[in-house]
Structure 1
Amino acid sequence: MNGSRVWILAMSAALLVAGCSEGEKPRAAASPSASRPSPSAAPSSAFCLDLEAFQVGAVVFRADVGGAAEGRRLDFKDLRKRAAILLYMGERMQASAPPGIAERFRAVLKAIRTAARKLKAGSKVRDVVDPLYGKAIQPAFEAVDHYECPGAGG
Structure 2
Amino acid sequence: MRVRLVRCAFLLLTATALVSCGGEQPTAGPEPASPQASVSATAEPAASPTTARATATPSESAFCRDLNVFNIAQVMYAAEVGKALAGQPVDFKEARRIARLIAQYGKAMEDSVPPDIADAFHSQVKAVRKSSSKLSTDSNVRDVTDPVYSDKAQARRKKLDEYECG
Please tell me the TM-score bracket, short chain as reference. Answer: 0.7 to 0.9
Name stretches of at least 5 consecutive residues in structure 2 with no aligned partner.
Answer: 12-42
Mapped to 1, the partners of 2:124 and 2:76 lie a distance apart of: 14
Paired residues in the alignment total: 124
Name the counterpart of 2:53. Answer: 19
2:115 to 85, 99, 114: 99
Please, what TM-score do these two structures have when normalized by structure 1? 0.73
Q: Percent identity at matched positions?
A: 38
The question of whether the paired residues in 1 share the 8 Å contact of 2:62 and 2:108 is answered with: yes
Mapped to 1, the partners of 2:107 and 2:161 lie a distance apart of: 17
The question of whether the paired residues in 1 share the 8 Å contact of 2:76 and 2:98 is answered with: no
Name the counterpart of 1:54. Answer: 70
Q: Which residue identity lines up with residue 146 of structure 1 in the other structure?
A: E
Runs ≥4 in structure 1, deviation > 3 angstroms?
Answer: none
Name the counterpart of 2:16. Answer: none
Mapped to 2, the partners of 1:50 and 1:107 lie a distance apart of: 17
Name the counterpart of 1:9. Answer: 45
The structural deviation recorded for 1:18 is 2.3
- Flag the 1:96–1:44 CA change in 2: closer, same or farther, 3 A: same
The structural deviation recorded for 1:97 is 0.6
- What secondary structure sits across from 2:112 in the alignment? coil
Q: Which has the higher contact order (CA 8 A, sep 6+)?
A: 1
Mapped to 2, the partners of 1:8 and 1:69 lie a distance apart of: 27
Which of the pair is proportionally richer in helix? 2
The structural deviation recorded for 1:94 is 1.3
Q: Deviations over 1:5-32 (max 9, x none)?
A: x7843221xx102239xxxxxxxxxxxx
The structural deviation recorded for 1:43 is 6.0
The structural deviation recorded for 1:90 is 1.0
Please, what TM-score do these two structures have when normalized by structure 2? 0.68
- Flag the 1:46–1:88 CA change in 2: closer, same or farther, 3 A: same
